Structure 1
Amino acid sequence: MVIPDLGRASRAARPDAEPRAEPGSFRDPANRVFHAGGDVLRALDETAAAHWRALAGSTFFPHLVAAGKICGTEELPAAASPAIPPATPAGPAAGSGQPAWAAVLRHERIPFVSHPYEWSHAMLRDAALLHLEILRTALPAGFTTKDGSAYNVQWRGSRPVFIDVGSFAPIRDGEPWAGYRQFCQTLLYPLLLGAHLGVDFQPWLRARVDGIEAEQMSRLLRGLRRLSPGVLTHVHLHHSVQRRNAGRSTADVRTQLRDAGYTRELALATVRGMEKLVRRLEYRPPASHWVDYQRTCGYSEADRAGKERFVTAALTGVRRSRLVLDLGANDGHYSRLAARHADYVVAVEQDPAVVDRLYRTLRDEGDRRVLPLVLDLADPSPGGGWRGIERASFAARAGADTVLALALVHHLAIGRNVPLPEVVACLAGCAAPGGRLVVEFVHPDDPMAVRLLANKPDGIFPDYRRDAFEALLAGHGTVEERLELPSGTRTLYRVALGG
């Protein structure tokens, strides 16, 4: 199989590039993910290598890869494979005694890694449906997936892609889906929160990397809510079975299911039923004032035209951006503009309703170059999981060639009481060394700033001034261009940041 081209030529793994273990890949000792130079590699032990070769020779797997539903993967010849040591979550482990890996795969590189608690409801639902579609397709061919985690899915713009190729294994008759519990905890239960309780799931998933337990959900979905779609079977019955089998081994449970006549056909029917359920779990987060912000933010037509020209010139006047971060993207207007002049754009917005609407629009258009994410810059995703590094923080994943921060600074500095030097440092820190920042400063006398200041004590922001802002920008790089919009209360800057 050939790794799909994402706008960058696929390179052979370089033997001189020291492999670095991916901190999020350690729970399955049969296969580990490493980074070597620009390559994403997966090392397999003998059993996993045999499973991979059977998978690669199957009829269903190449079709799913060709359709873009599973990331492109190929096995490297032994001569082209770097020497990959055994690994721990923190890195290579010397003297572990583990034998050499039997095979090394190279994966297609995903443009930007995101986490499920940064997705909207519609994104999580589409990720769940992809999981189930892949499992439904694999079962008749004699394969299953060993886990069902939401973290097995990433995105090419608005299109989900399954990345955990090491999760596939031959199925044994009479065995249940090993990934069912993970699927419920990281995908199904968060969807139930929205569909049946009208609650945003993001804080729940961010709080626990393993997701929401059945016991927690059973406490939330009582009374008449027990009759809501999926609740009796996948919450209360699931919780009851877990309690009943708490003292039994997995092997005992498998034997019991085989003796009860659990077959591959029953497993397939279960997956189809779950697909039908997930499709019903509709939820549109309630609209907020941010939904219509582009209409109500007070720009004149001259301001809008000038701002678009300035941003376009900033994106086209220098080298093409590999990655653009549009911070405070709102409805994605400038993310779409940036996508015309960059390889990939990540549109960051704190409001789940706004992100959900943007995602649905991008999905309907088939867009693969703009990834919308739910993220509050005043409380961004921290590192999580084992030792705080299993899931990388947003700051660790940023590193954009161009950072757009349009109509954002006043919301952080005034609305969230973040000191102006901290705001500028945050925006500059989202860029890669030598990157650039396109930022808008809303003057204190602008109507939007006046509205925010009206809710604050007098004199609380004495340093929120244009001259102070420009001095801070100069401390992080060179202001190459500035434009005061016709209204006279907003100024745009293009800054070449220090390397």
Structure 2
Amino acid sequence: MVIPDLGRASRPAVGADAGPRVEPGSFRDPANQVFHAGGEVLRALDETAAAHWRALAGSTFFPSLVAAGKVCGTEELPPGAARQLLAADRLGGAEPWPAWAAVLRHERIPFVSHPYEWSYAMLRDAALLHLEILRTALPAGFTTKDGSAYNLQWRGSQPVFIDVGSFTPLREGEPWAGYRQFCQTLLYPLLLGAHLGLDFQPWLRARIDGIEADQMSALLRGLRRLSPGVLTHVHLHRSVQRRNADRSTADVRAQLRDAGYTRQMALATVRGMEKLVRRLDHRPAASHWVDYQRTCGYSGADRAGKERFVTAALTGAQRSRLVLDLGANDGHYSRLAARHADYVVAVEQDPAVVDRLYRTLRAAEERRVLPLVLDLVDPSPGGGWRGVERASFAARTGADTVLALALVHHLAIGRNVPLPEVVACLAGYAAPGGRLVVEFVHPDDPMALRLLANKPEGIFPDYRRDTFEALLDGYGSVDDRLELPSGTRTLYRVTLGG
């Protein structure tokens, strides 16, 4: 199987060293350990997993999924290359390095995100890809042993399945082992939005394993029991779980085989779930932020000057591999940055705004802009086992260029974050020696005055331009600045210290 490039030109993981390092999110499957070594993403397989991989690579369906970009690019390394990349007797003082049967190299995903950072349409498209892959695998005699939303990542607006180790030969008469995970991390969050109008992000962020059937059953009672998917995948699923709580998984599988459960029945179930997921939709309620670019009060001259300044900042130095656009709103500057950078992560706190942006990017088949739902005042923390199984947002950043346009006043005045903390946060999201392009809205700007009107008088005495500039000087050198024609907003380009 020929995998072009495998993304080796993409940005290495922040803080990765040349030695092997276990991916904290892969420890739950000891047969499929993922490592980072020498800037590569590797998967080490035991004897059984290696045999499954070679059967998978020799199948007709798997290479087609890879070629279509639906599964991440993967190749098996020659033994010599694998030994060189994993040349270590010990891993962080742990047990001796095992003798793996095979080592795979995966393409590097430009930026790792978590399902609770996705919009509704993103989660639905991820669920549909998961089901499509399973539907394609079943006739070829394969299934997936997991159904987690964490098995998917993004190339811009394109979802991609990354857990190659999840594929396993299908044993006739056995149900899909990943069904419960799929419900908890994909289907139930979608039902929350479609049937209850609730944003799923806080629910997924609260529990790494997703939403339990008991929780969904309590929410979807009365007439809501008749909503699409609820009786079968919530209430019936809950009853089956309770009825079999004292039985082993092997006993349940044997019972299904004895009852005549077949591959065709499994395939029909997957097709039914696909049909259900396609029907589900949730358009988050419109908010002030949806029309912010139209209502924020920029003149035509201000907009033109701002675009020229940002473009010059992105083109006047080495090309950025990763741009982080904080407070991206409708993604105007994210898309501008994508013309001059390898990849852009567009961060916005409002799920409705991100969902609209994602649908726009998807329609344009944009592969270099990833929109994410994230509140900078409460960003994604580390989660899962020991708080590192899912890396925090701060641990995943390290951008060559950070854009913070029309953002500082919302954090400092709107959210009461002290100005020194705001600047420290923005600078901290950049890689050493990176660039910060930031806009300061003066206290006498109409938007700042609107925010100040809701605050006690005199609460922000240090929110001043001279204070802001002194703070920037503390993190690097201000290489360029522009006062917009309105006279109440100033843009800065800062090269941050190493």
| TM-score band, normalised by shorter chain | over 0.9
Question: Cα offset for 1:373?
Answer: 0.2
Q: Distance in 2 between matches of 1:163 and 1:471?
A: 45
What pairs up with 1:277-426 in 2 under 5 angstroms? 277-426=276-425
Q: Distance in 1 between matches of 2:132 and 2:115?
A: 18
Q: Distance in 1 between matches of 2:257 and 2:92?
A: 40
For 2:22, the equivalent position in structure 1 comes to 21
Question: Cα offset for 1:445?
Answer: 0.3
What pairs up with 1:7-156 in 2 under 5 angstroms? 8-9=8-9, 17-81=18-82, 82-83=85-86, 92=92, 94-95=94-95, 99-156=98-155
Equivalent position amino acid for 2:413 in 1 = I
What pairs up with 1:105-254 in 2 under 5 angstroms? 105-254=104-253
Question: Cα offset for 1:126?
Answer: 0.2
Question: Cα offset for 1:4?
Answer: 3.5
What pairs up with 1:438-457 in 2 under 5 angstroms? 438-457=437-456
**Structure 2: stretches of 5+ with no match in the other structure:** 12-16
Given that residues 85 and 93 in structure 1 are in contact (C-alpha distance below 8 angstroms), is that contact kept between their aligned partners in structure 2?
no
> 2:25 aligns to what SS in structure 1?
coil
**Structure 1: stretches of 5+ with no match in the other structure:** none
Given that residues 326 and 347 in structure 1 are in contact (C-alpha distance below 8 angstroms), is that contact kept between their aligned partners in structure 2?
yes
> 2:312 aligns to what SS in structure 1?
helix
Given that residues 482 and 490 in structure 2 are in contact (C-alpha distance below 8 angstroms), is that contact kept between their aligned partners in structure 1?
yes
Give per-residue Cα distances to partners, 1:85-124, cap 9 Å, x unaligned: 799xxx656336x841110000000000000000000000
For 1:458, the equivalent position in structure 2 comes to 457
Given that residues 86 and 92 in structure 1 are in contact (C-alpha distance below 8 angstroms), is that contact kept between their aligned partners in structure 2?
no
Relative distance call for 1:167 and 1:93 in structure 2 (3 A) is farther
Given that residues 147 and 182 in structure 2 are in contact (C-alpha distance below 8 angstroms), is that contact kept between their aligned partners in structure 1?
yes
Given that residues 203 and 211 in structure 2 are in contact (C-alpha distance below 8 angstroms), is that contact kept between their aligned partners in structure 1?
yes
> 1:161 aligns to what SS in structure 2?
strand
Question: Cα offset for 1:2?
Answer: 2.8
Equivalent position amino acid for 1:145 in 2 = T
Equivalent position amino acid for 1:29 in 2 = P
Relative distance call for 1:23 and 1:8 in structure 2 (3 A) is closer
Q: Distance in 1 between matches of 2:145 and 2:28?
A: 11
Give per-residue Cα distances to partners, 1:380-428, cap 9 Å, x unaligned: 0000000000000000001000000000000000000000000000000
Q: Distance in 2 between matches of 1:481 and 1:191?
A: 46
> 2:18 aligns to what SS in structure 1?
coil
Q: Distance in 2 between matches of 1:225 and 1:84?
A: 57
Question: Cα offset for 1:37?
Answer: 1.6
Q: Distance in 1 between matches of 2:203 and 2:354?
A: 18
Given that residues 110 and 154 in structure 1 are in contact (C-alpha distance below 8 angstroms), is that contact kept between their aligned partners in structure 2?
yes
Q: Distance in 1 between matches of 2:488 and 2:6?
A: 41
Q: Distance in 2 between matches of 1:248 and 1:8?
A: 47
> 2:438 aligns to what SS in structure 1?
strand
Question: Cα offset for 1:33?
Answer: 0.4
For 2:14, the equivalent position in structure 1 comes to none
With normalisation by structure 2, the TM-score equals 0.97
Question: Cα offset for 1:180?
Answer: 0.3
Question: Cα offset for 1:29?
Answer: 1.1
Deviates more, 1:78-87 or 1:452-461: 78-87
Equivalent position amino acid for 1:76 in 2 = L
Q: Which ranges of 4 or more aligned residues in structure 1 deviate by more than 2 Å?
A: 1-11, 82-87, 91-96
Q: Distance in 2 between matches of 1:93 and 1:145?
A: 33
Deviates more, 1:98-107 or 1:181-190: 98-107
Relative distance call for 1:10 and 1:107 in structure 2 (3 A) is same
Equivalent position amino acid for 1:61 in 2 = F
Equivalent position amino acid for 2:416 in 1 = N
Q: Distance in 2 between matches of 1:255 and 1:208?
A: 31
> 2:121 aligns to what SS in structure 1?
helix
Q: Distance in 1 between matches of 2:227 and 2:93?
A: 49
| Cα RMSD after superposing both structures | 1.5
What pairs up with 1:425-444 in 2 under 5 angstroms? 425-444=424-443
Give per-residue Cα distances to partners, 1:422-444, cap 9 Å, x unaligned: 00000000000110000000000
Q: Distance in 1 between matches of 2:192 and 2:351?
A: 14
Equivalent position amino acid for 1:404 in 2 = L
For 2:491, the equivalent position in structure 1 comes to 492
Question: Cα offset for 1:18?
Answer: 1.1
> 1:24 aligns to what SS in structure 2?
helix
Question: Cα offset for 1:3?
Answer: 2.9
Question: Cα offset for 1:184?
Answer: 0.2
Equivalent position amino acid for 1:460 in 2 = I
Q: Distance in 1 between matches of 2:187 and 2:259?
A: 26
Equivalent position amino acid for 2:86 in 1 = A
Relative distance call for 1:86 and 1:57 in structure 2 (3 A) is farther
Q: Distance in 1 between matches of 2:22 and 2:393?
A: 19
Question: Cα offset for 1:10?
Answer: 8.8
Given that residues 8 and 107 in structure 2 are in contact (C-alpha distance below 8 angstroms), is that contact kept between their aligned partners in structure 1?
no
Equivalent position amino acid for 1:276 in 2 = K
For 1:5, the equivalent position in structure 2 comes to 5
Give per-residue Cα distances to partners, 1:118-150, cap 9 Å, x unaligned: 000000000000000000000000000010000
Question: Cα offset for 1:9?
Answer: 4.5
Give per-residue Cα distances to partners, 1:224-259, cap 9 Å, x unaligned: 000000000000000000000000000000000000
Question: Cα offset for 1:25?
Answer: 0.6
The percentage of counterpart residues that share the same residue type is 88
> 1:268 aligns to what SS in structure 2?
helix
Q: Distance in 2 between matches of 1:162 and 1:85?
A: 29
What pairs up with 1:240-279 in 2 under 5 angstroms? 240-279=239-278
